Amino acid sequence: MPDPTQAAPQRAMPYLPFTRPTIDVATIAGVADVLRSGWITSGPYVKDFEARLSEYVGGRPVRVFNSGTCTMEIALRIAGVGPGHEVITTPLSWVATSNVILEVGARPVFVDIDPKTRNIDLDRVEAAVTPATRAIIPVDLAGLPVDRDRLHGIAGRHRLRVVEDAAQAFGSRWKGRRIGSFGDFVSFSFHPNKNITTIEGGALVLNDQKEARLAEQYRLQGVVRSGYDGMEVELAGGKFNLTDVAARVGLGQLQRLEEFTDKRRDLAHLYFKHFAAPRVRELGLGLPPEDFGHSNWHMFQVVLPEERLAIRRAQVMERMHAAGVGTGVHYPAIHLFALYRKMGWKDGDFPNAEYAGRNILTLPLFPAMTGSDVARVVDTLAEVLKGEMKS
């Protein structure tokens, strides 16, 4: 028998993941229509999705693919980057950014990050340029754009191609202009964690129809069709096409981009408000730049104060998880992975990226979150850290 004098047991708070896609019922119904239509791989929805993305970036050619990763590999191939060439990039990114450089046979050249923006330090890029340098792959970490004026200035001076890894920056702007609407190659990802999703998928913004045609060839076995039965193959393409089912998800997502971005921005404002409380500020966490003009707030990341903490990030994450709050790591420094160490990189090569790689922590941020979720995240983090500060 339950004891009637006891208060009802508190319902446990639902687990708060660090991210979660928002897929609406109209999109789900639209996907069902595609599944019933008899044509489920690349077809009319892919064409429509490409047309709308092209509209979004001011009319530049856009092609869609089954990942963001392959778009960067294909951009490098179109640019003619290969063995004997160097590509400058950041050590603080998803490992895809530098794996694609290896994939085309070139060598990554890492340049440390600016600890304030957590993006590649543009002050150090020109010193890394050699006669073998062909391209730069900047990354807009957490959606905060790399300074596009300086970036394209440097690329222009040294005649380098740019493959913007804007996987996290769909919806971001540079001085009012949409990321993707200018520059050289621009790569987006539609992985479920990104600001809009196609489940898996990506898009590449190109400069002209010639590049777009090459992108189509690299996307599907190098095949070029003509007339009723004509088929030619001139290059060894791969298998990177997006399905119509995925494109239909993307079309439903794209319609809500502005709403999603606004919601993320509001939640980021709230994070700053809660982190400004004196009892939280004294914990000494590194906060992202308060940039409300450019970023799409793909993530809200803090950097734990390693010197002052008696516990490591893994324990912080474990305790947050136990308290019902999910967190993530984006990312460990790339040059310290075994594959890259074997190629000669070592501890101490890029101290700013290494410090961030050890201590950066992604907090929950997604459109379906509420203001009280933000308060709960900051309270939980402050509670976990409070008892673990070295005096």
Ligand X SMILES: *Cc1c(COP(=O)(O)O)cnc(C)c1O
Q: Which residues bind ligand X (CB under 6 A)?
A: 67-69, 93-94, 96-97, 139, 165, 167-168, 189, 191, 202
Residue (96 or 385) nearer to ligand X, CB: 96
Beta carbon of residue 161, minimum distance to ligand X (angstroms, whole number): 17
Measured distance CA(173)–CA(33) in Å, rounded: 34
Residue (78 or 385) nearer to ligand X, CB: 78
Beta carbon of residue 69, minimum distance to ligand X (angstroms, whole number): 3
Residue (168 or 261) nearer to ligand X, CB: 168
Beta carbon of residue 180, minimum distance to ligand X (angstroms, whole number): 15
Residue (203 or 302) nearer to ligand X, CB: 203
Q: 121 CB contacts (<8 Å, ≥6 apart)?
A: 111, 112, 113, 114, 352
Beta carbon of residue 140, minimum distance to ligand X (angstroms, whole number): 8
What are the CB-based long-range contacts (under 8 Å, 24+) for 182-186? 182/58, 182/148, 183/148, 183/152, 184/152, 184/155, 185/75, 185/78, 185/79, 185/161, 186/57
Residue (147 or 165) nearer to ligand X, CB: 165
Chain position whose Cβ is nearest to ligand X: 68
Measured distance CA(290)–CA(379) in Å, rounded: 20
DSSP string, 77-143: HHTT--TT-EEEE-SSS-THHHHHHHHTT-EEEE-PBPTTT-SB-GGGTGGG--TTEEEEE-B-GGG
Largest CA distance in the chain: 82
Amino acid at 47: K
Q: What is the CB-side half-sphere exposure of residue 194 using CA atoms within 13 A? A: 30
Measured distance CA(112)–CA(101) in Å, rounded: 17
DSSP string, 190-247: --TTSSS--SS-EEEE-SSHHHHHHHHHHHBTTEEEETTTEEEE-S---B-PPPHHHH
Beta carbon of residue 121, minimum distance to ligand X (angstroms, whole number): 17
Q: 158 CB contacts (<8 Å, ≥6 apart)?
A: 126, 129, 133
Active site residue 194: yes
**Cis? peptide before 331, omega within 30° of 0:** yes
Beta carbon of residue 93, minimum distance to ligand X (angstroms, whole number): 5
Beta carbon of residue 358, minimum distance to ligand X (angstroms, whole number): 19
Nearest to 347 by CA among 333, 361, 331: 333
Residue (289 or 328) nearer to ligand X, CB: 328
Residue (238 or 305) nearer to ligand X, CB: 238
Instruction: Check 47, 116, 175, 194 and give the catalytic one.
Output: 194
Cβ contact 113:352 at 8 Å: yes
Q: Which residues are catalytic?
A: 194
